[in-house]
A and B are shown apart, each in its own frame.
Chain A
Amino acid sequence: MSVRRLLPWLVLGWLLGCSAGDGADDRTRLVLWHSYRGAELAALEAALGRYEAAHPEVKVVPSGIPYDAFPNKVSVATPRGNGPDLFIFAHDRVGDWAAAGVIEPIGFWATEPLLDRFFRSTLSPLVYRGELYGLPLAFKTLALYRDTALAPDAPADTAALIAQAKALRAEDPSVWGLGYELDSLYFHAPWLHGFGGAVYADEQDTLALDSPAAIRSVEFVRGLVAVERIVPEELTSALVTTLFKQRKLAYVVSGPWFRAELAEHGGWAVSPLPTVSESGLKAKPFLGVEGILLSAHSKQKRAAFDLMVFLSQDDEALSRLLQGGQLVANKAAYQDPAVAGDAFVEAFRDQVEDTVSLSNRPHMRGVWTPMKSALSRGIVHGESPADALRDAAAVIRRAAE
């Protein structure tokens, strides 16, 4: 086809393109990416509707992105100017995004009264190298589920838990005391922190996973498996659910998501994790936060920050808690009469004060796999915990170079 024959079509296309552009409204357009579905999505959309009603000059364009593809899409699209103004995601990528200049520090605008709304612990996951990068919307952490028929009362410390579990085992050997995924650092973290250990010793990425405290924590769990014999060795999350539902498991360490698995199942309760008797410290699980983050490439940061503040308001948090079923980061939301008295929500609210922020450093992602191997060696296969942890730490240090 010659150029001359194509020309009228090109002109027509150009004209159409222009007229489509003229039709757009002049409201400030804020693009918000999220990965919510179901009730959480409905709660978010309702909140955005309220914001637009109160701010007729702003149009919010929410866009759902699948969770797995989310971080890469943000990392790739944002620097090229195709990304959102705001996005809601788990905090563990904050370090990468901050280092790559994808997200904007908001300390410049944030004030103390604004931050006082949140549980103090839910802010630190969003801080990277001394800068605040977002506002927390919801949190996830672990707590202790128990079968109220087997274990009527929440144990105050690990000695009580072990005694209770051993008594149950003596009565019926097919019943186990405690169950969780032994080789996962996420589930081991309460014991690690309960013995005074940590993943990193300081701000400079100094790894502390082969410290004496970490070794003691692995020895402790090995004791539960091999000496006290109250924990089954090779547990998967599916097996935990099955055993708990069959009332063959007295205690389970799990997060808020475990409730969905127990939909039709009664006779259970949740409480904060116990104190570690040996050290007298609380068993502190990792805290994960879902935050709303501001793109460093946004053209209207001030307007986007206003929307962040709106979404993190106490009344908006309450509606996300009631409508979306999220464990929100606002303190005031839990004082509402509609929430007070919900033992499940209160257990996690109590637990959130005793947590350790899951590190948002880029190197943290390289920690999981070597630690999985070390925990399975030290706890399940009965090798020396010191050796297993030392090897894992060596692998992690090497990969971080």
Chain B
Amino acid sequence: MARATRAGYVAPLLACLFAALLGDMAWQQYAQHNADRAGAWSAQRLASALAVSPQPAAMTTTGGALLRVVVDDPAPRPYAFLPRLSYVAHPMAAGQALDPGSDGDKAAADAWSKGRDGAFVARAGGQWRAAAPAGARQVAVADVPAPDWARVAATGRWRLLGALALGLTAWLLLLWRGPLRPWRAAAGAGVAVLLAEAALALSMYDLTDHQAHQVRWVLGLVSGHGPAPEPLLPELGVLVLAAPLLPLVLAGAVGWFTCSARSPHRAAYAYVAPAMAGMAVLILAPFAFGLLLAFTRHDHGTFTFVGLRNFVQILRSEGVGFWEPLSFYFTLAVTVAWTALNVILHAAIGLALALVLKEPTLRLKGVYRVLLIVPWAVPNYITALIWKGMFNKQYGLINHLLGGLGVEPVGWFSGFWTAFAANVTTNTWLGFPFMMVVALGALQSIPKDLYEAADVDGASTWDKFREITLPLLKPAMVPALILGSIWTFNMFNIIYLVSGGQPNNSTDILITEAYRWAFEQDRYGYAAAYSVLIFLILLGYSALTNKLSKGAEATYG
């Protein structure tokens, strides 16, 4: 395995260099990007100063230009939104007339992005000329100097190289301490890249106020009440996220190729490949996309990389009290209570019904079994809507029945506990058949002679249930319970359709909350961060239960 081991050392080194190259490219692009928008960016800062500036008719600018044309127009106009400004300038020959109706001049007007109050902001530097239309009262062009982005880019490169040198040193120090296994070497390289990134981020603090603010904002150090900074390049964000993983991926790939070349299982890989490709396209790709989204903010269709901002906001429950609806912790508590209560009820009712159905003396067993599976067979959103109707205050069946007992109509969705109870009732109705079917199957596989032997030993019915039935049900029921709790944890339909989160979003669970952020508030990044947290919780939960049920298998397996 010497070749593989060597690959484990070389690959992270290559990955580091590759990441450095990519990082440098991204940095250059970032600087270029900023240079492109510098005109508009600084011009906006000058907009207020311009209102009182002198009015040259034409001038040469370096960074960009700001033009303001106000036309005297005393007559009241029926359509205030029709442009008051007749036209604006574009690089054009002196004395050339503008034709307001033509496509060409529309395009010329578009070369300037319109600000408010009739100010036109040039998008790039160059020679700009303003031609005032007839009746113009005021024409102003302001010069906007461009920041020296070339210099910023150059210092950026030195900073990047310095940071990478730091990372590499850290990695070499790690190697110094003795031979490492390839995977740990790769992981060490990942940490080194992370370190380099952190150093770079810190070194950017002094660049400009603006960028320092940007960096702090991305790290979640500034609370989110101020104006958001200009977006960082999304590519840069992806790179920052991906770079620490790069050594691992590369080491894995190199190791895999060197090993599989001699592997006796090459054919097996080939057989699995189509399924793996399907998984990659249908599961891994959307998952990775969702993960990336969690580090972005959405604004009018553009996604901005914001680092850990969304997670910080969620976990600090910014803007709402720690224990109010819409706070992550409150919703998590509701979700956990909802899951636990449902799973307990499903399992208890399902098991009880299975025991009854197993009774040999029971007649019409087939009919009962079919009837009890019906709630499961009906699409769950239909059931949810029927139950919602039944919980209606004025026309619902449940209040009608309660009215027969002399109870005043209950507003089921007016209080937290009644709304929660309505949700749990509906989901219990939907959930018990599954547990019943699983328990029934498991019950039938318990050998009868165990019970006969127990009878001979003089065991009571309860003893037999506790000592034989329950332990032998466990291998079948535990996976069903885990599955059931994960389903219930993410049971979107019932919450959304029955209580709809009423009252005041308090009965929402995490997944409906995430849905609301995404599709009702358009905060896709925030919602993706919610989903990532849900995923982590469920991952932890299944890891824990896996461990516990392995222990159980060892005992009863």
Give A residues with C-beta under 8 Å from B: 75-76, 79, 96, 99-100, 102, 107-112, 115-116, 120, 123, 127, 129-132, 232-234, 239, 301-302, 362, 365-366, 368-369, 373, 376-377, 380-382, 391, 394-395, 398-399, 401
Contact = CB atoms under 8 A, between A and B. Distances in A.
Interface residues of B, number: 41
Contacts of A75: 301
Nearest to B107: A301
15 contacts: A96-B300, A96-B301, A99-B300, A130-B81, A131-B81, A233-B394, A302-B103, A366-B521, A373-B504, A373-B505, A376-B502, A377-B504, A380-B413, A382-B414, A399-B521
B381 interface: no
A152 to B, nearest CB: 26
B411 A110 contact: no
Given A96-B300, A108-B106, A365-B522, A377 B411 contact: no
Contact of A369 (B101, B225, B411, B516): B516
Closest 4 CB pairs of A and B: A398-B319, A100-B300, A381-B414, A99-B300
A399 B114 CA distance: 27
Nearest to B109: A108
B445 interface: no
B516 A233 contact: no
A239 B83 contact: no
A376 B503 contact: yes
B258 interface: no
A380 B326 contact: no
Contacts of A115: 78-79, 82
A381 B326 CA distance: 19
A102 B503 CA distance: 38
Nearest to B118: A130
Interface string B383-399: 00000000011110000
Interface in B66-86: 78-83
Given A96-B300, A381-B414, A373 B502 contact: yes
B457 interface: no
A394 B502 CA distance: 18
Contacts of A369: 516, 520-521
Interface centre among A110, A130, A131, A239 (most CB of B within 10 A): A130
A324 B172 CA distance: 75
Contacts of B263: none
Interface string B494-506: 0000000111110
Nearest to A133: B81
Contacts of B395: 232, 239
A218 to B, nearest CB: 14
Contacts of B101: 109
B103 A110 contact: no
Contacts of B100: 108
Interface in B471-493: none
B523 interface: yes
A96 B103 CA distance: 25
B302 interface: yes
B520 A108 contact: no
B229 interface: no
Contacts of A123: 79, 81
B540 interface: no
Contacts of B300: 96, 99-100, 362
Contacts of A377: 503-504
A234 B505 contact: no
Given A233-B411, A376-B502, 9 more contacts: A239-B395, A302-B106, A365-B521, A366-B522, A369-B521, A373-B505, A380-B414, A395-B320, A398-B318
Given A99-B300, A112-B78, A132-B82, A232 B504 contact: no
B363 interface: no
B197 to A, nearest CB: 27
Contacts of A96: 300-301
Q: Binding site of A, secondary structure by majority: helix, strand, loop or mixed?
A: helix
Nearest to A369: B520
B116 A130 contact: yes
B319 to A, nearest CB: 4
Contacts of A395: 319-320, 326
Contacts of A394: 319
B225 A401 contact: yes
Contact of A110 (B82, B502, B504): B82
Contacts of A129: 116
Interface string B406-419: 00000101110000
Interface centre among A108, A112, A115, A376 (most CB of B within 10 A): A108
A373 B508 CA distance: 12
B81 A132 contact: yes
B54 interface: no
Contacts of A76: 301
B147 interface: no
A381 B116 contact: no
Interface centre among A79, A120, A399 (most CB of B within 10 A): A399
Given A109-B101, A376-B503, A234 B79 contact: no
A112 B504 contact: no
Contacts of B505: 373
Nearest to A363: B522
Contacts of B224: 401
Contacts of B103: 301-302
Contacts of A102: 301
Nearest to A95: B300
Given A362-B522, A366-B521, A369-B516, A107 B82 contact: yes
Contacts of B116: 129-130
A123 B81 CA distance: 10
A381 B502 CA distance: 10
B522 A108 contact: no
Contact of A366 (B78, B83, B393, B520): B520
A376 B80 CA distance: 38
A76 B415 CA distance: 42
Contacts of A302: 103, 106
B68 to A, nearest CB: 15
A301 B110 CA distance: 13
Interface centre among A79, A127, A398 (most CB of B within 10 A): A398
